[in-house]
Amino acid sequence: MKILAIESSCDETAAAVVEDGRKVLSDIVATQIDKHKLYGGVVPEIASRMHAESIYSVVQAAFEQSGCSPDGIDAVAVTYAPGLIGALLVGISFAKGLAMAAEKPLIPVHHIAGHIAANYLSHPELEPPYLCLVVSGGHSHIVEVLDHTHYHVVGRTHDDAAGECFDKAARTLGYEYPGGKFIDQAAKSGDPSAYRLPHPKVQGCKYDFSFSGLKTAVINLVHNAAQRNEKLCREDVAASFQKTVSDILVEKTMLAADDLGYSTIALAGGVSANSGVREAFSQVCRQKGYKLYMPQLKYCGDNAAMIGCQGYFDYLAGKRADESLNGIATLPLDKISV
């Protein structure tokens, strides 16, 4: 079964053709980062306009690369939540038009479910149940993946997402948006024990996160040094920050895994591309004899192949949308009702 998938929830316009949920026949991602970085973050209005400009050529390129035509696919999958409403609506409207014209079923896909599914593209042997840490620019969740379409969110952030925290720390250190990958690069030549940064305390659920205190600590560290005319080593701050985030992510995820009885762990989302995070999880899972799955780097960030993969499982579970499908800005993973 071949699915044409469309993703436009934030700042990448993406389309892919995926066969049977695993075989990526094409994978096109047009990023808008160069435009948004001028403003230090994603500007929703610009994102919507840029999606509208590029969606046709991105979908056309996905068809060409796969050797398929609209008649040769079996369904259209599209991200409908969560995300920027104007951005989502561009992908949804295009997907609706395509599905109607080609007389194919339309499958609504949750973006975070797509991030989790990126693991199936890289590891065909992975089967639920397992515990997944989803860490992206907008989300930090610990999720029980019960089966391919059912989830239970057991931990979440009370404030900033992990990626947001990376981007804000990076900005404070003078890197351009989105700075997660620059922190990752800088950390490679820094000393992770150079600075002691706080592990913010979280009230309530013991698997929940809080990153705003850590962000503030980096800002204070950099500003205080500037006021005292002291020179900070950017690489050392980056390495110390990255180590602190990795420690927090590992601590909470492993606590949940042990309490809830999971020995299969997966990572997902943009921050799962971070080499420090990947190494920290690899180490702890090796020590404990747990199985660890991480998406290939190209499937950590936003892409449509992951939506095509999840769309396949959603299709098998009977999920369908009609021409009334709308975008939803905020929709918890365990409250999917479509």
What span, in angstroms and rounded, lies between the C-alpha atoms of 206 and 257? Answer: 12
Sign of the Cα pseudo-torsion (121, 123, 128, 132, in order): negative
Q: What's the min distance (Å) between Cβ of 164 and Zn ion?
A: 12
29 vs 325, which CB is nearer to ligand KG4?
29
20 vs 279, which CB is nearer to ligand KG4?
279
Could you please report the per-residue DSSP string of 90-134?
Answer: HHHHHHHHHHHHHT--EEEEEHHHHHHHHHHHH-TT--SSEEEEE
Q: What's the min distance (Å) between Cβ of 68 and ligand KG4?
A: 26
Three-class SS state of 72: helix
Strand 12-19: give its sheet, edge to edge: 23-31, 12-19, 2-7, 75-81, 106-110
Number of residues that bind ligand KG4 (CB under 6 A): 18
Q: Which of 7, 27, 236, 302 binds ligand KG4 (CB under 6 A)?
A: 302
Q: Verify binding: residue 140, Zn ion, rule CB under 5 A.
A: no
Q: Which does 320 bind (CB under 5 to 8 A by kind): ligand KG4, Zn ion, none?
A: none
Q: Verify binding: residue 180, ligand KG4, rule CB under 6 A.
A: yes
256 vs 307, which CB is nearer to ligand KG4?
307
Q: What's the min distance (Å) between Cβ of 120 and ligand KG4?
A: 16
Q: Which of 24, 29, 131, 271 binds ligand KG4 (CB under 6 A)?
A: 271
Instruction: Collect all residues with Cβ–Cβ distance below 8 Å to 3 and sequence separation of at least 6.
Output: 17, 18, 19, 21, 73, 74, 75, 76, 77, 107, 308, 311, 312, 315
Sign of the Cα pseudo-torsion (215, 217, 221, 223, in order): positive
Q: Which of 108, 128, 269, 308 binds ligand KG4 (CB under 6 A)?
A: 269
Q: Which does 166 bind (CB under 5 to 8 A by kind): Zn ion, ligand KG4, none?
A: ligand KG4
CA-based Rg of the chain, rounded to a whole angstrom? 20
What would the x/- binding string for ligand KG4 be over residues 6 to 45, using CB under 6 A? ----x-----------------------------------
What span, in angstroms and rounded, lies between the C-alpha atoms of 6 and 326? Answer: 14
Q: Which of 144, 184, 236, 302 binds Zn ion (CB under 5 A)?
A: 302
Q: Verify binding: residue 158, ligand KG4, rule CB under 6 A.
A: no
Q: Which does 106 bind (CB under 5 to 8 A by kind): ligand KG4, Zn ion, none?
A: none
AA letter at 287: Q
Which tokens hold the place of 97?
């038009």
Omega prior to 178 cis, within 30 of 0: yes
What is the binding site for ligand KG4 (CB under 6 A)? 10, 136-138, 163, 166-167, 178, 180-181, 184, 269-271, 273-274, 301-302
